[in-house]
Structure 1
Amino acid sequence: MNKWIRGTNAVVLSLAVIGIFIILTIFLNSTKNLQVDLTQNKKFTLSDKTTETLKSLDNDVHFITLTSDQTNPYIKRQVDELIQEYKKRNAKIVSDDYDIVKQPAMAKQYDVDPGGTLVLESGTQKKVLYYSDMFLPGQQQGEYKFSGEEKLTQALVNLNAKTKSKIYFLSGHNEIPLNKMNLWKTGLEGENYELADLNLLREGKIPDDAEVLFVIGPTTDISDKETSVINEYLKGKGKLYIALGFNKDMATQWKNIDGLLAQYGIKDQHAIAIEPKQSQLYDPLTIIPEYGFHAITKKLQDYNLLTMMNLAVSINADQPVADFPVTAILKTTDAAYGETDIVQLMSNRTAKDDKDIKGPLNLGYVVETKEQKPKAVVLGGSSFFVDEVLQQQGNRDFALNSVGWLQEQKDQVTIRPREGDALQQALITGSQANTILYGTLFAFPLLFLVVGGTIWLRRRKG
């Protein structure tokens, strides 16, 4: 009788436990938005800015992830998990995942990076994010910072913008063509800029809708008539973004380019910056500038992202113009110098002498009006805008930040990147791997079976 009662109690208790689990499962399933983030770095907790942006999202948005066998699985998982968090908070977001190797037709539709690309589409608008831009190096070897939320939320904000800014890239003076700056072009289009080439010899004027005139890497001078047109444009609300190129005869052939800088009190010193033995990873002509205190460089400093410049021309503002205050944002170390003998430099026989300009050298300025409104960005180098260089370190962020400052972007999203621990790898031998395999599949299950069977037999006999 007692055995029958104990057996009945066991059955009732088991049914009660099962019932509790069923009820708990139904309850949790009914509260889909309820979650508790127990991860150390709160990797699944979205910021207030992101939550606000998702709530205000009115239009359907399609997330398209394009990856390949070159995409790091850990990086892909991080991005996928972030997308799922966005989808939980707004049903208007849908996503699809494509392998560009197995589905090459999808890769042809977009400017794809094999390391991973995320495309956001809403109606006729499109934003492209690269996985590599979402992961920043950490303080220690192997550590990283994940800025995916900031990039993705900024893309959603831009996707909802109603207007676009028209900017023109001057051509006809051996500037860097737009088709060699695709990454920057894509980034600017993602920030709601509409880009176009402008050849003043053909057009005769700067279009009325031009909000900024870009002069990127000119190697020959601008003509007198073109200079007159540009100066007329700059007298009004026009803005200038100029990044100097390289010409061995710049001291005698850049009269009008020098004149454009001089109206803001900036002088082209016609010297190439050299940083002796700054690092074994690059040559002395590649400069890692120090940042001046400014909104353009603040985030780069906070995230410890460097900017690289090659064949950079030294510029200086020792005779300021009262109407246009300037601020230095890029400069070399004290050890650098400006090589004035370009012929000697090109023959690889350069050496510091009394004719050279002593460091530190200034390589970048921003110009404001008397009303403290942005007017111009002036850089001594332009090579880092080219695709293969722009994707290194903080080059792309600097390029986009500087344009954003010039255009007084009001909807800039700032979300601190999440710290990620260094990836840990365990190196084991083949015999150790076999021990783990057989122990997991056979030894441990057999041990539990023997122990459980022994206990069962003892209770049965008792």
Structure 2
Amino acid sequence: MSKLKLKKPEIKSQFKTRKSKSGSYSVLLTVIVIAIAVIVNLVVAELPSKYTNVDLSPNKMYSIGDETKNVVKNLNTDVKIYVLAAEESADGTISELLNRYKDLSDHISVEYVDPVLSPGFASNYGETSIASNSLIVESEKRHKVVSYNDIYVVDYSSYYSTGTTEENFDGEGQLTSAIAYVTSETLPMVYSITGHGESSLGTVASDVALKQNVEVKDLNLLSEGAVPEDADAVLIYAPTSDYSSDEADMLISYLEAGGAAFIMTNYTTEDMTNFNRILDNYGVSLSQGVVVEGDQSAYYMDPLTILPTVNSHDITSDIKSGQTPILILNAQAVNKNETVRSTVTIKDLLTTSDSSYEKTPVDGKLTTYEKEDGDRTGSFPVAVAISEDLGDGNTTQIVLCTSAWLLQDTLLSQFNISNTDLFANSLGWMCEQESTVNIPVKSTSIEYIMVPAAQVNLWSSVCIIILPAALLIAGLIIWLWRRKK
């Protein structure tokens, strides 16, 4: 049988037909689409994770706040973050958060270290036993270990009332604090004065100081004989008995040399002559009464639990612009002396409303909250910031708050308030820190949508009955219409 052969002109003509041209266009279009898809994927892969992974979590678990951005974007030294886990098995939330940090600064790099393959790695940093997914943050200055158990924190505050606990995510707070710690030129030291019945910082306030990378040590002035030279500030937390004359002189000498102090007081009937001498040296004194708030919108539950007005100052700038209030109890008014050195400046931080008045307790207790004849009235300062310019760039800085409840755990754990912000910002102001770190934890609890029963019934009817019926009717109409054609 003879073979059929196509002549060359016939072969060429096959590719000139409409069918062949259409096929060629399809192939070309497919190649172009694939090329575009590859290029788009390559471009998207290089985009920062904040653009490719949108944070839709209800508590913004992966989002980074302004405090972190301020710390990270101002880095001028390299920071290495080691994750003690294999990359493929690392905690996804932590990994995503680290990607956000890397996107903010080229000075940050992340390396995953598998503890199974490198069992002795953590021991190089003085850690013999550390949980998987813990972090080691390191710079040329120093390093800091962030335990996985400090990133995920269990809150027991409601356990005794509800029998439940809440897990919180503190990844951003711990990580930003660690970065600030390893890159700071100096680390602040605050001495807490003891020996006069002072309170100690509670768990919440201590955590705030720790995140600020501020070390707090107890100091007995009679034992030491003076405030140590490495003190950036002293903490005086509601003494219940008076200082000796020598102790008052030590503190005055320290402050007059450019020291700083965060002072909280409680109403007391004790004679506090020497303690008051410290305050008087800077133009203020404590009123002998307790402030009662007369404006119902300016207190919570009772008129001694005050929601004070926040006034403008470097300490309060972010608090004043926010929506979270400050809450204090049993406050005293701060009186300003008629005469004070011209170098001393006193600015109100917190004040009560014009409707407030002052009452003097009898035997340490108020017999009534009602305003009576003779009660002093008006807006009272209950927290002030005092500074004195000593020349040559040297400044004395004092924060005085007349309510020791400001930092009580029982208050801080029950209410969403800005008390810790005031404390953190005060530490930053006194210790002259460039940036403060007071980032709240984020709850990992699932927030359920509460839908009323009426709405449940309505949407059930829509989804189960109305929509299927509408689709069935539409399909029937189309079928009948096509049948008639």
Query: Does TM, scored on the shorter chain, surpass 0.5?
Result: yes
Which protein is bigger by CA-based radius of gyration? 2
Aligned equivalents of 1:46 and 1:194: distance in 2?
24
User: Structure 1 regions of 5+ residues with no counterpart?
Assistant: 65-75, 97-107, 111-117, 133-147, 416-422
2:99 corresponds in structure 1 to 84
2:405 corresponds in structure 1 to 383
Aligned equivalents of 2:177 and 2:313: distance in 1?
21
The structural deviation recorded for 1:168 is 0.5
The structural deviation recorded for 1:298 is 1.8
- Report the residue type matching 1:85 in the other structure: R
2:431 corresponds in structure 1 to 407
How big is each residue's C-alpha offset from its partner over 1:90-112, in whole Å with a ceiling of 9 and x where there is no partner? 5623689xxxxxxxxxxx989xx
- Report the residue type matching 2:428 in the other structure: G
Contact map agreement 1:374 1:408 (CA 8 A) in 2? no
Aligned pairs for 1:44-443 (under 5 A) are: 49=70, 52-53=73-74, 56-60=77-81, 83-88=98-103, 90=106, 92-93=109-110, 121-122=137-138, 124-125=143-144, 156-178=179-201, 181-247=202-268, 249-250=269-270, 253-276=271-294, 278-279=296-297, 281-322=300-341, 323-343=343-363, 346=365, 348-371=367-390, 373-390=395-412, 392-411=416-435, 428-429=455-456, 432-433=459-460, 436=463
The structural deviation recorded for 1:355 is 3.6
Aligned equivalents of 1:236 and 1:10: distance in 2?
85
The structural deviation recorded for 1:424 is 8.8
Aligned equivalents of 2:83 and 2:359: distance in 1?
52
The structural deviation recorded for 1:27 is 3.2
How big is each residue's C-alpha offset from its partner over 1:239-277, in whole Å with a ceiling of 9 and x where there is no partner? 222111232x14xx1212211111111011111111035
How big is each residue's C-alpha offset from its partner over 1:296-319, in whole Å with a ceiling of 9 and x where there is no partner? 112211123321111111111032
What secondary structure is seen at the aligned counterpart in 2 of 1:225? Answer: helix
Q: 1:389 to 1:298 in 2, by over 3 A?
A: same
CA RMSD of aligned residues (A): 4.9
Contact map agreement 1:221 1:256 (CA 8 A) in 2? yes
The structural deviation recorded for 1:184 is 1.8
Contact map agreement 1:87 1:94 (CA 8 A) in 2? no
Aligned equivalents of 1:160 and 1:327: distance in 2?
32
Q: 1:54 to 1:386 in 2, by over 3 A?
A: same
Q: Give 1:28's match in structure 2, choosing from 21, 27, 43.
A: 43
Aligned equivalents of 1:46 and 1:308: distance in 2?
24
What secondary structure is seen at the aligned counterpart in 1 of 2:250? Answer: helix
Contact map agreement 1:270 1:340 (CA 8 A) in 2? yes
Aligned equivalents of 1:366 and 1:129: distance in 2?
34
Aligned equivalents of 1:155 and 1:221: distance in 2?
39
Aligned equivalents of 2:288 and 2:64: distance in 1?
52
Contact map agreement 1:187 1:400 (CA 8 A) in 2? yes
- Report the residue type matching 1:380 in the other structure: T
Contact map agreement 1:365 1:377 (CA 8 A) in 2? yes
How big is each residue's C-alpha offset from its partner over 1:411-454, in whole Å with a ceiling of 9 and x where there is no partner? 45899xxxxxxx997664157348648999xx69x99xx99xx9
Which stretch of structure 1 is more off in the superposition, 195-204 or 51-60? 51-60
User: Structure 2 regions of 5+ residues with no counterpart?
Assistant: 1-13, 57-61, 86-90, 114-128, 155-170, 440-447
- Report the residue type matching 2:310 in the other structure: Y
The structural deviation recorded for 1:176 is 1.5
- Report the residue type matching 2:248 in the other structure: T
What secondary structure is seen at the aligned counterpart in 2 of 1:175? Answer: coil
Aligned equivalents of 1:311 and 1:46: distance in 2?
34
How big is each residue's C-alpha offset from its partner over 1:169-228, in whole Å with a ceiling of 9 and x where there is no partner? 1122222213xx222222222222111011234434322222211101222222333223
